Amino acid sequence: MSDTPFERTEHYAFSTSTPVRYQPVTRGETVIAYLWASTTEDAASCLMVLASAEPVDRLRTAARWAERLGRARAEGLTALQALERWHGAPEDPVAGGTERPLGEAAALEELYEIANPGHPHPEPVPDEPADGTGPGGRWGDLAPFTLDRRTYHPDTDAAVRYAPVSDGEQIVGYLWAAETDDAASFIATPRSGAAGSRAKSAWIMWMVDRRSEEVSPLEAFELAADQPPHGSAIPPGTEVSTAASLRELERIAWS
């Protein structure tokens, strides 16, 4: 895992419409960025947390990850293989550390909202230069962003209410809502694979609609049993559970 110079060749795509796997990047106890890779496409990049550091420091971190990802691409690694290569790396003074657990998001927009709630996200720019320096390229993830349609915040420090969701054949994930924050989302189980990703996408869009109706997260959670999106639902008779934190629920979902 050295950072020796290399000759840049091609790069991964900087945007995707598919679900993404992501790696929190930390400096000390602070998350400074999210390294992400598409689960199905050859797309990967580093999304900076705007509030984590001064612009010049964010640029240095983004540049280091652009170099690392460029090296992985030049070696023929897929985007997911590049993400896995750096998982668990000790903290680097510039790049940060990658020792926290991996996560998954139904879409890149969801990860944008986790990293920088309320900011505009960079739009994909076609026909960018191969060195990744186009307007939507290497530094695209540093820009502010806005979502036209908003959902609940996908992270919380509060206790959460949750229920399993099934597609009729298996439990594909868990719907949750924070007890005190404006936060709610869906966690897909790793073993459910594509079915979990499809369910998560459907539930995220369902929550976008509830948010646009000015329904609170807990009210939306209560509506979910009777008004699920197409393809999956909370099984009849399911008892609602409570987790002390979202991290506790993640451990349940990913175990």
Q: How confident is the model at residue 11 (pLDDT cuts 50, 70, 90)?
A: confident
pLDDT the model gives residue 118: 66
Q: pTM here?
A: 0.50
Torsion of CA 130, 106, 146, 60, to 10 degrees: -50
232 pLDDT above the threshold of 90: yes
**pLDDT for res 124:** 45
**Domain limits, the chain:** 20-142, 160-254
Give residue for tokens 């996908």: 154
Environment class of 4 (CB within 10 Å of its CB; exposed 0-12, middle 13-18, buried 19+): exposed
Taking only Cα atoms into account, the Rg of the chain, rounded to an integer number of angstroms, comes to 18
The pLDDT value recorded for residue 49 is: 87
pLDDT in tens, 117-160: 766 555 443 433 333 333 333 333 333 333 334 678 888 889 99
**Residues 174-211: pLDDT tens digits?**
999 999 988 998 988 888 877 887 888 789 889 888 98
Instruction: Decide: 115 and 30 in contact? Cβ < 8 Å.
Output: no
- Asked whether the predicted pLDDT for residue 45 surpasses 70, the reply is yes
Render pLDDT for 51-66 as a digit per residue (tens, 0 to 9).
887 777 888 888 889 8
